[in-house]
Amino acid sequence: MYYKQISCPALFITSLASNQGKTILTSALAYYYIKKKHSVSVFKTGPDYLDPMILEKVSDNLVEQLDLWMNGEEYCYNILYKASQKTDIILIEGAMGIFDGTPSSADLAINFNIPIVLIINVRGMAQSIASIIIGIKKYKNNLLLYGIFINNLGSYYHYKLIKSILPVNISLLGMFPKYNKIIFKNRHLGLIPPNEQNNFNKNIKNISKFIIKSKIINSIPIVNFKNKKKISIPILLKGIKIGIAKDLAFSFIYNANIKLLEYMGAKVFFSPLIDKYIPNIDALWLPGGYPEIHAHKLSINKSMHESIKNFFLKNKPILAECGGMLYILESISDLNNKFYIMAGILPGHSELTNFLGCQGMQSLILPEGIIRGHSHHNSYSFATIKPIGYGIRSSYYTFIGEAIYRIGRLTASYLHMFFPSNPIVCASIFYPD
Query: First-to-last CA distance in the chain?
Result: 39
Contact yes or no for 328/394 (Cβ under 8 A): no
Q: Is 358 a catalytic residue?
A: no
Q: Which DSSP letter does residue 301 get?
A: -
Polymer length of the chain = 433
DSSP codes, 347-367: S-EEEE-SS--S-EEEEEEET
Cβ atoms 381, 362 nearer than 8 A: no
Judged by DSSP in three states, 421 sits in helix
Q: Which of 8, 76, 322, 426 is catalytic?
A: 322
Beta bridge partners of 192: none
CA distance 167 to 112: 25
What is the Cβ-side half-sphere exposure of residue 219, based on CA atoms within 13 angstroms? 4
As beta bridge partners, residue 246 has: none
Task: Classify 34 as helix, strand or coil.
Answer: helix
Using CB atoms within 10 A of its CB, is residue 30 exposed (0-12), middle (13-18) or buried (19+)?
buried
Q: Cα separation of 71 and 291, whole Å?
A: 27
Query: How far, in Å, are 53, 286, 301, 351 from residue 322 at the CA level?
Result: 18, 9, 20, 13
Among 383, 380, 381, 362, residue whose Cα is nearest residue 372: 362
346 CB contacts (<8 Å, ≥6 apart)? 320, 325, 328, 329, 330, 384, 385, 405, 407, 410, 412
- Residue 358 exposure: Cα atoms within 13 Å on the Cβ side: 24
Would you say the C-alpha torsion 46, 47, 51, 57 has a positive or negative sign? positive
Residues 6+ apart with CB under 8 A from 396: none
DSSP β-bridge partners for residue 44 = 65, 93
User: Strands, E, within 367-415: which ranges?
Assistant: 369-375, 379-382, 389-390, 403-407, 410-413
The residues assigned a catalytic role are: 322
